[in-house]
Every structure is written in structure tokens, then in C-alpha cells.
């Protein structure tokens, strides 16, 4: 599983003319599922994302996580993150999970995040699976990290 984590001041997902997910300060997460990923992998990624220290402490150092500061998390499924890009000029998608299975695994990932933060001041929003989404964000920093959890 690969995710692109972005620290944002605001992010939203629009499908057609409808805003389907929106957060203020927090994390925008693009998630790419690979064919070998399981719910166990997504649970490990959930813990990693929520505890990844990307927010500044009193000295301005990235020592605080979303669990420490609260805010929002916007989860967007993005199969292109699972692409094979090591050679050539065109991405290959043989490593990406099939859409039907990916939807189930992604929904489990979202459920794991919601379960983990349910008693905290953290809001959870999502995009719409397999939709043509327009993602808008105001990146804070900019701070971006590509995280992977091997299967």
C-alpha cells in the first residue's frame, strides 16, 4: 500500500457539482492499493498515518502527529499510486488491485481510521470511489510524504 500524505490547511473533493468531502487543517491522504494488499496492511497504514509526526511543536520542529493536534483527515482512493513507474515512459497498472476488491479494502481502511479516532477531535471525510473527482487543497508547508507499508 502506498499513500501520499499531505499536510493541508484545507482540502475538499468535488464530484460533479457536489462537495463530497471537506476538511480544514489536517491531512489529505491519497491511497493506492496494490494487488497484494490486505486489511491487515491497511490497519498498519492507518496507525502509521495517524501517528506520523508532521505537525510543528512549540519550537517549529515536526514532532506532533494528527493524534496530538486534532483536525481532519480526507481519504481519497487513487489507483495511480499503485502504478509501476520504474522504467519506460508509460505507467503500468498490473500491480494495482482490481477495482471491486480495492473498493472493499479501501472501505475497510476508512472504517479503521474512523474507529481509531472516534473519541478524538479528528474529523474523517472521503472522496468517492471510482468517481471523476476534483481535489482542491491548500498544502501547508508544503509538506508531502510518500509512505509505504509492504505486504
Does residue 16 come out as left (phi exceeding 0), alpha (psi in the -120 to 50 range) or beta?
A: left
Nearest to 73 by CA among 54, 95, 86, 100: 54
Active site residue 145: no
Alpha carbon distance, N-terminus to C-terminus of the chain: 8
Catalytic site residue from 80, 85, 130, 151: 80
Q: 79: which DSSP letter?
A: G
Residues 147/2, Cβ–Cβ less than 8 Å: yes
Active site residue 34: no
Catalytic site residue from 79, 106, 109, 126: 79
Active site residue 106: no
- Count Cβ neighbours within 10 Å for each residue of 80-93 and write b for 16 or more, e otherwise: ebbbeeeeeeeeee
Residues 28/74, Cβ–Cβ less than 8 Å: yes
Catalytic site residue from 6, 34, 42, 78: 78
Taking the C-alpha atoms of residue 31 and residue 86, their distance in angstroms, rounded to an integer, is 19
Supply the residues annotated as catalytic.
78-80
Amino acid at each position: 500500500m502506498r499513500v501520499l500524505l499531505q499536510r493541508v490547511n484545507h482540502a475538499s473533493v468535488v464530484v460533479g457539482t457536489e462537495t463530497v468531502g471537506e476538511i480544514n487543517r489536517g491531512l489529505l491522504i491519497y491511497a493506492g492499493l496494490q494487488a497484494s494488499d490486505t486489511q491487515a496492511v491497511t490497519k498498519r497504514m492507518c496507525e502509521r498515518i495517524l501517528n506520523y509526526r508532521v505537525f510543528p511543536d512549540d519550537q517549529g520542529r515536526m514532532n506532533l502527529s494528527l493524534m496530538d493536534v486534532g483536525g481532519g483527515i480526507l481519504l481519497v482512493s487513487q489507483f495511480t499510486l499503485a502504478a509501476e513507474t520504474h522504467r519506460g515512459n508509460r505507467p503500468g497498472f498490473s500491480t494495482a488491485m482490481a477495482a471491486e476488491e480495492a473498493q472493499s479494502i479501501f472501505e475497510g481502511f476508512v472504517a479503521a481510521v474512523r474507529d481509531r479516532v472516534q473519541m478524538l477531535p479528528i474529523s474523517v471525510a472521503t472522496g468517492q470511489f471510482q468517481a471523476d473527482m476534483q481535489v482542491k487543497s491548500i498544502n501547508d508547508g508544503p509538506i508531502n510524504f510518500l509512505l509505504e507499508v509492504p505486504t
